[in-house]
C-alpha cells in the first residue's frame, strides 16, 4: 500500500533523525501526525455535511480507520478498503453521485484502475445507481447479494420489493457481475471481506465485514445495510408473512456479529456525522443495538398496519 507522507511528516521524521531518536519512535511520530491530519478531515465531514443530507452533495474523502476510507457524498456512504494489491469499493451512490465518489478515490491517491471489485449494499438507486458508471471507469467486477442480481442487471425494480414502483430505473450493469452467498469470504486485492446477507429492506440486501488495523489496534468493521421497513403507500408487510420472516432472519443475522465499528449506507443511520465531529468513528452504536432498533421499527410498522385494518 502506497503511503504519501506530507512535507510536515517528513519534517518531523528529519527532526527525529537529527536528534538521534530511533527509527521506531520516528515512524510512530509520523503515524501520529498522519492520524491527526486524518481526524481533521473527518471532523470537517461532520461539520460540513448535515444529517440526512443531499445524496449527491460532494464532500472530501477521509480515513475512517486503518485501511478503510470514506469516499462517499454527504448523504450516501461509499467506502474504499485499501489492500496490498489494490482496493475494493463498497457502494457508488447515485449515477450522479458516483462522479464525486470517483473523484474522491483519486483524491486519496488511488487510481480508478486499482479498484479490483465494486461491492453493493442493497439494490436501490441511491446506493448502487452509479454501478454501471463506476464499472465503466474502473473496469472492476460488481459483486452483490444473490437477490439483487436481477435488479442490477436490468436496472428495474424487483416487483417483490416493498418500495417497488417508487424508483426511477437505474443504468443496467452490463459487465462482470456475480452474486455473493451469505457467509462467503471474498479474497480481493489481498483483502478478506465477508458477505453477510441481511435481507428485509430489500431482498438482496448485503452487509459486509472486514478487519481494519492501525496504530490504535484492529477493529472488525461492519458495514450494516439498511434494515428499515419502508414501502410504497399501498404495500402492507402484514400481507407478506414470508417477507416478514425473511426480514427477521436478516436482522437476526446481523445482531451477533463481531462489530468493533458499525458503518451504514446512510451515514446518519448510525450517527456517523456526530461521531465524525469527535475526530474518530470509535464509540458508535453496536450491531446488537442497531438490530434491536430495527426489530422495534418492524414491530411498530406491523402493529400500525394491524390497527388500520
Nearer to Zn ion, 124 or 301 (CB): 124
Q: How far is the CB of 226 from Zn ion (least distance, A)?
A: 5
Quick one: how many helices (H) and strands (E) in the chain? Answer: 9, 12
Query: Which residue among 127, 225, 243, 290 is the active-site one?
Result: 127
* Beta carbons within 8 Å of 104's beta carbon, 6+ residues apart: 58, 60, 61, 71, 72, 78
Query: Which residue among 53, 91, 126, 157 is the active-site one?
Result: 126
Q: How far is the CB of 151 from Zn ion (least distance, A)?
A: 11
Q: What would the x/- binding string for Zn ion be over residues 114 to 153, using CB under 5 A?
A: ----------x-----------------------------
| Residue carrying the nine cell digits 456475480 | 178
CB 126 within 8 A of CB 76: yes
How far apart CA 59 and CA 73 sit, in angstroms, is 5
Annotated active-site residue 223? The verdict is no
Measured from each CB, the residue nearest to Zn ion is 124
Main-chain phi, psi angles of 261, to 5 degrees: -150, 120
Nearer to Zn ion, 124 or 219 (CB): 124
Nearer to Zn ion, 55 or 210 (CB): 55
How many chain residues bind Zn ion (CB under 5 A)?
A: 1
Looking at the DSSP bridge assignments, the partners of residue 220 are: 211
Query: Which residue among 201, 223, 243, 290 is the active-site one?
Result: 201
The answer to whether residue 294 forms part of the interface with Zn ion (CB under 5 A) is no
Nearer to Zn ion, 59 or 94 (CB): 94
For residue 264, which of 279, 292, 286, 237 has the smallest C-alpha distance? 286
Q: How far is the CB of 150 from Zn ion (least distance, A)?
A: 16
Query: Which residue among 122, 157, 225, 271 is the active-site one?
Result: 122
Q: How far is the CB of 91 from Zn ion (least distance, A)?
A: 11
For residue 122, which of 64, 41, 201, 220 has the smallest C-alpha distance? 201
DSSP secondary structure code for residue 253 in this structure: H
Annotated active-site residue 124? The verdict is yes
Query: Which residue among 223, 235, 243, 290 is the active-site one?
Result: 235
Q: How far is the CB of 158 from Zn ion (least distance, A)?
A: 12
CA distances from 286 to 17, 186, 219, 224, 239 (A): 42, 24, 13, 10, 31
Annotated active-site residue 122? The verdict is yes
DSSP secondary structure code for residue 271 in this structure: T
Q: Catalogue the active-site residues.
A: 122, 124, 126-127, 201, 235, 266
- Site residues (CB under 5 A) for Zn ion? 124
Amino acid at each position: 500500500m502506497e503511503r504519501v507522507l506530507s512535507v510536515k511528516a517528513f519534517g518531523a521524521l528529519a527532526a527525529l533523525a537529527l536528534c538521534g531518536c530511533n527509527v521506531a519512535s520516528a515512524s510512530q511520530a509520523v503515524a501520529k501526525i498522519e492520524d491527526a491530519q486524518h481526524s481533521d478531515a473527518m471532523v470537517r465531514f461532520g461539520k460540513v455535511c448535515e444529517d440526512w443530507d443531499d445524496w449527491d452533495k460532494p464532500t472530501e474523502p477521509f480515513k475512517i480507520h486503518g485501511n478503510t476510507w470514506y469516499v462517499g457524498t454527504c448523504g450516501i456512504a461509499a467506502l474504499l478498503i485499501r489492500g496490498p494489491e489494490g482496493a475494493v469499493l463498497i457502494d457508488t451512490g447515485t449515477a450522479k453521485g458516483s462522479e464525486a465518489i470517483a473523484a474522491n478515490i483519486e483524491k486519496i491517491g488511488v487510481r480508478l484502475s486499482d479498484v479490483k471489485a465494486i461491492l453493493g449494499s442493497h439494490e436501490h438507486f441511491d446506493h448502487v445507481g452509479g454501478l454501471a458508471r463506476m464499472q465503466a471507469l474502473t473496469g472492476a467486477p460488481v459483486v452483490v447479494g444473490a437477490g439483487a442480481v436481477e435488479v442490477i442487471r436490468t436496472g428495474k425494480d424487483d416487483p417483490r420489493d416493498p418500495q417497488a414502483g417508487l424508483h426511477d430505473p437505474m443504468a443496467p450493469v452490463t459487465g462482470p457481475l456475480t452474486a455473493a452467498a451469505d457467509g462467503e469470504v471474498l479474497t480481493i486485492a489481498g483483502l478478506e471481506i465477508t458477505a453477510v446477507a441481511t435481507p428485509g429492506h430489500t431482498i438482496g440486501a448485503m452487509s459486509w465485514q472486514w478487519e481494519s488495523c492501525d496504530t490504535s489496534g484492529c477493529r472488525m468493521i461492519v458495514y450494516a445495510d439498511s434494515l428499515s421497513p419502508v414501502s410504497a403507500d399501498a404495500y402492507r408487510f402484514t400481507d407478506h408473512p414470508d417477507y416478514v420472516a425473511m426480514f427477521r432472519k436478516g436482522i437476526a443475522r446481523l445482531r451477533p456479529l463481531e462489530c468493533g465499528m458499525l458503518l451504514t449506507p446512510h451515514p446518519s443511520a448510525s450517527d456517523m456525522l456526530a461521531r465524525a465531529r469527535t475526530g474518530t468513528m470509535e464509540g458508535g452504536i453496536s450491531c446488537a443495538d442497531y438490530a434491536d432498533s430495527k426489530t422495534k421499527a418492524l414491530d411498530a410498522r406491523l402493529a400500525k398496519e394491524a390497527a388500520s385494518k
